[in-house]
Each structure stands twice: as structure tokens, then as C-alpha cells.
Structure 1
Amino acid sequence: MAIAPEQSVIVVGAGPTGLALACELAAAGVSCTVLERRLAPSTQSRAMGLYSRTMEVLDLRGHADGLVALGRPVSRMVPARGARVDFAELDTRFPYLNVIPQSRTEEVLQQRALDLGVTIERDAEVFGLAQDGSGVTLQVRSGSGEWEESADFVVGCDGAHSVVRELAGIAFRGRTYGIAPILADVRLRKPPPDDVLILSGGGGVMVSVPYGDGLYRIAVARRDRPWTREPVTLEELSEVLTRALGFDPGPHDPEWLARFKIHQRIADQYRLGRVLLAGDAAHLHSPLGGQGLNLGIQDAVNLGWKLAAQVQGWAPVGLLDSYEAERRPQAERILRATDRATRVATTASAGVTALRRIAMAKALSYRRIRKVAGESVSGLRNGYAAGRAARVPGGGLRGLAMRGGQRVPDLTVPRVGAAPVRLYSLMRDGRFVLLDLGQDGACAEVTEAWGSRVSPVRVGVTVPELPGVGALLVRPDGYAAWVDGDQDPGGREERVRLALRQWCGVEGPAPQRVAEEADGAVGVVPGTAVAVEQEPASIEQA
């Protein structure tokens, strides 16, 4: 089935990353088709936890409440005996890990995508790709035949064994660990506490996450257990759990038993011309800590509005390239952290294990350190380097708590002539939001020249969470684009114009289509999909 001329983006892969990206594009008014080789959505749980920041970025578009209803909040992580991280202490609407099977997350995002008008084509396997300065053409096949699909851009969200990445010729460098963990969704007769539990020692590590109703997600890795294709048995699971816990928890009635490989890889580039990568297609890492799904969804929310701006013709120069500039460092940080944690957790040295446990328990006994750890694990401390924000002057910035690139919390926003409202509820349509804290509303009036790209909000009073701020431009993904202090109101209107040009393009009606060649576009890239083993690459792909 060929895409209609108005279709602008093809997303390959209907997992959480691809569906989240499709929702972002559709909310921004960009036509989008998702191609998925699977005949039906997976019923396996796979990845199973959404951290606070991921829930927040999903809340920006109204997806979060449905996921909360289907999930189970877990408010504490125990990274070692005697140590704990309390998510309940976090300053967010979602102070917990939302434990929810990936299949349910996909259900929510798929229904939302369909409601927004996204076309989802199943039994559609991509096996060829060519691009030039005006678009991308994919060769697709199904049980009923072969055809071509064309669009302005293609995004590979097709996982660890990404065909899009391979056909585009983007290298995926890294390594594979020598260990092969066991993954299970199983009931336990003697379960551990209902926390996210991480125990290590004797060359192995065990992770336990409660689903509720007696069901637990268990992952166990041992240095002395190399990869094998032999199926996992309950007897083997019982043995490795007994070694980790010191007692037999009695696993029974498994819903899923699997063995998987752990890879540590990252794509050489996230964009090649009109082809982009997101999620596991761009990066893979150890599943210790459960960050993979969260990283992918946040890729999608970062990329969505930027790609929409490029397609619609109003993106400032370099905006689309800022996707990789911002998201790659986040992936590299996770790769380093999870690699270090996996190597330490599976060490055979009893001394190293004991020292790690003592040091972690001591550090996390301090509330301040515990809070920082919780914010780091949950993604609330993540932000972006000043980058584009640094190019726009701001007035009276000394002493400001908010900076460009920083996460903007879900504030209660007072409004002149209207009731206060949650900031994130103002961002459902994926536009920029300008908070004008000045008395005269002059900054809000400036935004009129940018039409529907910016939603102005006259606040008119000081907001306690934004001390010293006179104006704040919030990006569609919930980070600060530009901040202006209240100590220097003179010239603020001109500074607002400069910030809007930097982030939202030139004044006037936005062009409706991409008029120029994409930066870095390349010639034809023919190719045929190469068969690969579909061994799980991480918990997220298991």
C-alpha cells in the first residue's frame, strides 16, 4: 500500500519508541505511517518499568493517566542490602517507578496513535532503502506481495537488529558480554520485599521487580553461566535464585522464561540525510537499572517536534541535528553507567562486593544523597547542554535557578483572567509555551507573529518555583529553551524575539512543506535486509 502524497514521515517499528514518535508527529500535525513486520502486537512483558521523567514526558501529551491506571507504582529501589533509594521523596507528579508490561505500554500508545490519525501497517517488512535530497523510498514486502513506500523522512525504531540502520549503512559499534542472563516472569512462594531489589555477590547479580498479584519480573546473571540455546527450566531458575537470595523462593507458574544476550553498542550517527534512528536501533546497553525503554521514549519525544518543524518548513538551521547532539550524550552516559554497574555487580571478588555494599549503604543513609540518586535514576536530573539556548542573550540571569536546557517541572501556573493550570496540561498539542511573568503582558504579545507555533501564557505574577524569572520559553519536550531574568526588563521584548527566531524560526506563517534539501542528504543507498539472529539483545528486546 503506497503512502499518499501528503504523508511526510515513515516510522519503522511499532514498539514503544516508534509509537511514541508517531504520536508526537501526529500531535504536531505531521502525517505519519508506522510499518511493523510483526502481524500482531507482542503479548510478552519485555521491558517493564517507566521512570518519573518518562512518565512526565508522556504526560505532556496526555498519555500518562492511562499508563498509571494499568501499572503498579513501586516507590523504593534497594540497590544493595542495607541501601535504598526512595522515589517517594522526589518532587514530581510521578514519585515512583510505574511497573507495567511493555505490551500494555504499547497498547496505550497504539490506541493514542490511531486516535490521532496515524496509519499502522502490520506484516510490512522493509528490505530496501534509497534516499536523495527530496525524500526516502522503502521497499516493503508482506505475505501478499511487495511494494514501495515514500516519504520525506524515515525513522528507524526497529530495535537492536534494525534493518533501517543496516540499509542506511550506519555502523553499530560495541561489544557483547560473555554472560547470558535468565529472564523470567514468575510467581514465588517465598517472595522478596515488594521493592525493586538488586542483589550481587559470588559473581552474580539478581534483579527482582514486583508486578503485583504474586507475579515478579526476575533477571539473574552469573559470570559462570555462558550463552547457550538450551531452554530455561524452573529447576535452573530455582538454583540461581537460591544462590542469590540464600534461600529457595519457590518459583512456579512461569508466564515467561528466556535467556538473553547483553550488548553494549551505539550507532556511529543518529542521522544520515533523511534517515534517522531512535531507541534500541541507536543504542543498546546492559539492562541493569531498566533504562532502555525510558531512553527510547525520551528519544522519541526529543525528536518528534524537531522533525515536525523540519517537515513543516519552519525549523531554524541546525534544529534537527540537535537531536543527536542532545540525545547521544544521554545514551553514552547510560552506556558507561550500566557497563560499570554490570562489571562490578558480577565480579567474583567477595571483597569488592562487600566494599561496594558498605559504601552504598553509607552514602544512601544521607537523605540528600538519596534524593540525588533517586533523581538520577528517575531521569529528573537529566538535561541538555546550553547549546542553542546559549546563543540567545537573556537579561539579569545571575542567580537564576532555571537555565536553558534544564527540565521544567510541572508547575501550577497562575493566569491573568483565568484559573491556575498545570503547565504540562498546556502542552498537549506539542507547541512551545511562553510564560510571561511581567505585569504588562508585552512578551506574550510578541508571540503573535509566530502564530500557532507558540502558545503564550500571561502569568503576571511571581511563581515560587521560578524565582527571579521574568519570561520562560518552554520547549515542546518540557525543557527550558530560553530564560530571562526579572532584574532587567528593559529590552526584554527584543530578547523574546531573538529567542523565538532561534527556536521557532522566522516570523510569519510557517511553510507547509519541506522546501529545501535536508542537511547532509546523500544519494541512493540501495540494500537488501540481511537475516540476523533474533536473540534478545537486552531485557527491552528479550
Structure 2
Amino acid sequence: MAIAPEQSVIVVGAGPTGLALACELAAAGVSCTVLERRLAPSTQSRAMGLYSRTMEVLDLRGHADALVALGRPVGRMVPARGARVDFAELDTRFPCLNVIPQSRTEEVLQQRALDLGVTIERDAEVYGLTQDGSGVTLQVRTADGEWEESADFVVGCDGAHSAVRELAGIAFRGRTYDIAPILADVRLRKPPPDDVLVVSGGGGVMVSVPYGDGLYRIAVARRDRPWTREPVTLEELGEVLTRALGFDPGPYEPEWLARFKIHQRIADQYRTGRVLLAGDAAHLHSPLGGQGLNLGIQDAVNLGWKLAAEVQGWAPAGLLDSYETERRPQAERILAATDRATRLATASSPLVTSLRRAAMARALSHRRIRKAAGEAISGLRTGYARRGASGARLSVRAGQRVPDLTVPRAGGAPVRLYSLMRDGRFLLLDLGEDGRCAAVTEAWGSRVSPVRVGAPLPELPGVGALLVRPDGYAAWVDGTGDADGRERRMRSALHEWCGEEGPAPQPAVSEAGRAGAAAPGAAAAAEQAPSPVEQA
């Protein structure tokens, strides 16, 4: 079934990364279709933890509350005996690891995508790809036949064995570990504490995460257990858990038992022409720490607004390329950290294990270090290069995460900052008394949502104006002095981030997109969007 000729973006892969990207594009008004090889959504839990920053970027578009309702908050990680990381100490609306099966995350994002008018085609295998300066054509087949799909851009969110990546000729370099961990969702008669628990020693490592109601996600790896195709048995699982924990936890009623390989790979490039990659199609790493799903969703939220700007014709030069410039270093950092942690955790030397435990326990006994570790694990320390930064030393810097502040609007009720960003636009907070910066944004039409702040914000001392990117990071910040200069700098920042003045070109929208505009999800976003100059 071919899609409409005005189709703007095809996303290949209906996992969490692909669905999150489709939601971003649809919220920005870009027509989008998702192609998925699987006939039906996965019922396996697979990845199962959403950290604080991932929950925040999902909250920007109103996805988070449904995920909170379906998940279970876990407030602490024990990375070694005698060491702990308390997520409850974090300054965020989501101070925990939200434990939720990947299948439920996909359900939430798929329903939101459908509400926004996204078309999802299942049983659709991509087997060919060509592109030129005007678009991309995919060859697709199902049990009913073969056809071609065309779009302005294609994004491969189709996982480790990405067909899009291979067809685009992008190398995926790295290595495969010589260990083969066991993964299980299982009940335990004698469970460990209800924390994220990491136990290592004797050449092995075990991670347990509580789902609640007696069910645990267990991952266990040993250096002396190489890859085999033999199925995992409950007896084998019980034996390796007993070696790791020092007691028999009594596993029973397994919902899932599997062996898997650990890869460490990264694509040579995230973009070639009109083809882009995100999620596991772009990077793979050790699952120790549970970062893969989070990295992919944050890829999607970073890419979505930039790709929408490119499709709609208002993107300033280099904006779309900044997707790789910003996200690749994050992946490289995670690859390095998880590789180092995996090698240390599976070290066969008792001395190495003992020294590692002692050093970690000593470091994490300090609250400041413990909080910094929690922020790093939870993604709250993620930031980007200071593009368009002011020279002033301010409480928020360009490229830095902007927390979900309570904003006292001039003449209106206070509101959460993230609730002002449901529609995926830039947000300007004008803290000046005359509203001059808010007035400047009118020349950029619907690309910027200005809000006049009616009272000082304690979290932003010395800030006169703040331009927030659609993904919740500061694009530009300016101080309280020199109002004339601030207005001039404001115009420069808007040109740099939002393109030229004047109304943005409107993309063609398919019938599905028009239907989605009236759907509950889109209606809620429109309802919460502020007026051109928010003063109510």
C-alpha cells in the first residue's frame, strides 16, 4: 500500500525510538508513516527502565503521565555491596527509575502516534533504498506483494540489524563480547532488595530490577560461560544466581528466558543525504546500566524538531547536521562507560573486584558525589555545545537542560514550563518588565511561543530572557541588563535557531494528518499552546 505523494518522512521501525520520533514529527505538523517488519507489537519486556531525563523529554509532549501510571518507581541503585545511588535526591519531577516493560512503552507511544495522525504499516519489510537530491524511495514487501514508498527523508530506527543502515551503505564498526549473558523475567521465592541491584565477583555480574508483584528482571553474565545456542533452563538460571548472590533465590514461573550477545558498535555516520539513523540502528553497547532505550528515545526527541524544520523549509544552515554533532558524543560516552563497567564487573581477579567495590563505596558515601552519579546515570547532566551562548555567567547556560520550572505568567495562573511545550515549538521566557523580547518573536510566527513572566524566577537569577529549544535545552540565555542590546541579541539568536523572519512554509498534510489534527492527543496539545504573546 503506497503512501500519499506528499509524504514527508518515513520512519522504519516501530520500537520506542521510531514511535517517539513519529510523535515528534506529527506534533510539529509533519506527515509521517512508520514501516515495521513485525506483524504485531512485541509482547516481550526487553528494555524496561526509563530514567529521569527520558521521562522529562517525554513529558515535554505529554507522554509521561501514562507511562508513570503503567510503571513502577524504583528509587535506588546498588552498584556494589556497600554503595548506593539515591534517585530520590535528584531535582526532577521524576526522581526514580520508572520500571516498565518495553511493550507497554510501545503501547503508549503507538496510541499517541495514531492520535496524531501517524500511519503505521506492519508486516512491511524494507529491502531496497535509493535517494537523490529531492527524496528517498524504498522498496517494500509484505505477504500481499511489493511496492515502493517515497518521502523527503527516511529515518532508520530499525534496530541492531538495521536494513536502512545497510542499504544506505553506512558501516557499523565495533566488536562483540566473548560472553553470552542470560536474560530472564522471573519470580523469586527469596528475592534480593527492591532496588536496582548489581552484584559482581568471581568473573561474573548479576543485575536484578524489580517489576513489582514478585516479578524480577534478571541479567547475569559470566566469563566462563561463552555463547551457545542451547536454550536457557530454570535450573541453569538458579545455579548462576546462587553463585552470584551466595544463596539460592528460588527462581520460578519464568515469563521469559533467553541468551543474548553483547555488542559495542557505532555507525560511521548518523546521516547520509536524506537518510538518517537513530537508536540501536546508530549505536549498540553493553546493557549494564540500562541506557540503550533511554539513549534512543533522546535521539528521537533531539532529531524530531530539527527534521521537521528541514522538511518545513525554515531550518537554518547546519541545524539538521547538529543532530549527529550533539547525539554522537552522548553515544560515545555511553559506549565507553558501559564497556569499562562491563569489563570491571566481570573481572576474574578477586583483587580487582575488591578494590572496585571499596573505591565505589567510599566515593558514594559522599552525598555530593552520590547526587552527581545519580544525575549522570539518569541523564540529567546531558548537555550540548554552547551554540549561541551569551558571554555572561548565568544560572542557565546555552546547551544546558532547562528544568521543569513553575512559571508565573504575567496576568495569568502559574504553569509548569514543560506543559507550555506540548506542541513542539521553541519557547521564549521573557522576564523583562516591558515584554520587548516577547514582541520580537512575532516576526517568526508560529515557530516560537513567547511567554511573559510575571514575577522573578528564583531558579533563574540574573536571567532576562531564555529561549528554550523544543527538546528542553537552552538555545540562548541573556542577562537582565542592557535591554536594547538584549533585543538585538534576541534577534540574532532567533535567526541562528529559527531561520529567517516571516511565516514558516506550511508542509502538505495527508488526509491521515488532517484527521489526526482533530484527534484527542493533538487537541490537547493545541488547547495548552499559548497565544502568540502569552499574557493571559
Q: What displacement does 1:270 show?
A: 0.1
For residues 64 and 469 of structure 2, the distance between their equivalents in structure 1, rounded to whole angstroms, comes to 19
- Paired residue type of 1:252: Y
Q: Residues 159-204 of structure 1: CA distance to partner in whole angstroms, max 9, x if unpaired?
A: 0000000000000000000000000000000000000000100000
For residues 455 and 480 of structure 2, the distance between their equivalents in structure 1, rounded to whole angstroms, comes to 11
Q: What displacement does 1:460 show?
A: 3.9
Task: For 1:346-361, list aligned pairs within 5 A.
Answer: 346-361=346-361
Match of 2:528? Answer: none
Structure 1 counterpart SS, 2:54: helix
| Contact 2:392–2:478 (8 Å) recurs in 1 | no
Q: Residues 35-71 of structure 1: CA distance to partner in whole angstroms, max 9, x if unpaired?
A: 0010000000000000000000000000000000000
For residues 414 and 500 of structure 1, the distance between their equivalents in structure 2, rounded to whole angstroms, comes to 24
For residues 360 and 7 of structure 1, the distance between their equivalents in structure 2, rounded to whole angstroms, comes to 52
For residues 415 and 377 of structure 1, the distance between their equivalents in structure 2, rounded to whole angstroms, comes to 33
Structure 2 counterpart SS, 1:415: coil
Task: For 1:292-303, list aligned pairs within 5 A.
Answer: 292-303=292-303
Structure 2 counterpart SS, 1:91: coil
Match of 1:146? Answer: 146
| Contact 2:29–2:507 (8 Å) recurs in 1 | no
**What is the percentage of aligned positions where both structures have the same residue?**
88
Q: What displacement does 1:486 show?
A: 1.0
Match of 2:229? Answer: 229
| Contact 2:155–2:276 (8 Å) recurs in 1 | yes
Task: For 1:261-276, list aligned pairs within 5 A.
Answer: 261-276=261-276
- Paired residue type of 2:206: M
Q: What displacement does 1:5 show?
A: 1.9
Match of 2:16? Answer: 16
Which of 444, 447, 452 is matched with 1:458 structurally?
Answer: 452
Match of 2:328? Answer: 328
| Contact 1:306–1:320 (8 Å) recurs in 2 | yes
Q: What displacement does 1:385 show?
A: 1.2
- Paired residue type of 2:495: R
Match of 1:536? Answer: none
- Paired residue type of 1:311: V
Match of 2:514? Answer: none
Q: What displacement does 1:399 show?
A: 3.1
Match of 1:94? Answer: 94
Task: For 1:360-371, list aligned pairs within 5 A.
Answer: 360-371=360-371
Q: What displacement does 1:431 show?
A: 0.2
Q: Does 1:414 align with 2:408?
A: yes
Which of 498, 505, 513 is matched with 1:511 structurally?
Answer: 505
For residues 216 and 509 of structure 1, the distance between their equivalents in structure 2, rounded to whole angstroms, comes to 52
| Contact 1:436–1:460 (8 Å) recurs in 2 | no
| Contact 1:19–1:113 (8 Å) recurs in 2 | yes
Q: Residues 382-418 of structure 1: CA distance to partner in whole angstroms, max 9, x if unpaired?
A: 10011x324xxx3xx5331211000000000111111
Match of 1:469? Answer: 463
Match of 1:445? Answer: 439
Match of 1:520? Answer: none
| Contact 1:187–1:214 (8 Å) recurs in 2 | yes
Structure 1 counterpart SS, 2:207: strand
| Contact 2:30–2:507 (8 Å) recurs in 1 | no
For residues 272 and 460 of structure 1, the distance between their equivalents in structure 2, rounded to whole angstroms, comes to 46
| Contact 1:181–1:222 (8 Å) recurs in 2 | yes
Superposed CA RMSD in Å reads 0.8
For residues 352 and 205 of structure 2, the distance between their equivalents in structure 1, rounded to whole angstroms, comes to 13
Match of 1:241? Answer: 241
The TM-score normalised by the length of structure 1 is: 0.93
Structure 2 counterpart SS, 1:449: helix
| Contact 1:173–1:266 (8 Å) recurs in 2 | yes
| Contact 1:56–1:94 (8 Å) recurs in 2 | yes
- Paired residue type of 2:366: Y
Match of 2:258? Answer: 258
Q: Residues 324-376 of structure 1: CA distance to partner in whole angstroms, max 9, x if unpaired?
A: 00000000000000000000000000001001101111111111110000000
| Contact 2:159–2:280 (8 Å) recurs in 1 | yes
Q: What displacement does 1:513 show?
A: 4.8
- Paired residue type of 1:10: I
Match of 1:181? Answer: 181
For residues 364 and 47 of structure 2, the distance between their equivalents in structure 1, rounded to whole angstroms, comes to 27
Structure 2 counterpart SS, 1:381: coil
Q: Does 1:378 align with 2:372?
A: no
| Contact 1:440–1:460 (8 Å) recurs in 2 | no
Match of 2:208? Answer: 208
For residues 5 and 442 of structure 2, the distance between their equivalents in structure 1, rounded to whole angstroms, comes to 31
Structure 2 counterpart SS, 1:240: helix
- Paired residue type of 1:378: S
Structure 2 counterpart SS, 1:253: strand
Match of 2:340? Answer: 340
Match of 1:518? Answer: none
5+ long unaligned stretches in structure 2: 509-536
Match of 1:436? Answer: 430
- Paired residue type of 1:206: M
Instruction: Identify which range, 5-14 or 458-467, moves more after superposition.
Output: 458-467
| Contact 2:209–2:218 (8 Å) recurs in 1 | yes
Match of 1:496? Answer: 490
Task: For 1:59-74, list aligned pairs within 5 A.
Answer: 59-74=59-74
| Contact 1:438–1:461 (8 Å) recurs in 2 | no
Structure 2 counterpart SS, 1:126: strand
Match of 2:530? Answer: none
- Paired residue type of 1:128: G
For residues 161 and 389 of structure 1, the distance between their equivalents in structure 2, rounded to whole angstroms, comes to 37
For residues 52 and 326 of structure 1, the distance between their equivalents in structure 2, rounded to whole angstroms, comes to 19
Q: What displacement does 1:6 show?
A: 2.0
| Contact 1:381–1:407 (8 Å) recurs in 2 | yes
- Paired residue type of 2:318: G
The TM-score normalised by the length of structure 2 is: 0.94
Task: For 1:117-128, list aligned pairs within 5 A.
Answer: 117-128=117-128
Match of 2:388? Answer: 389
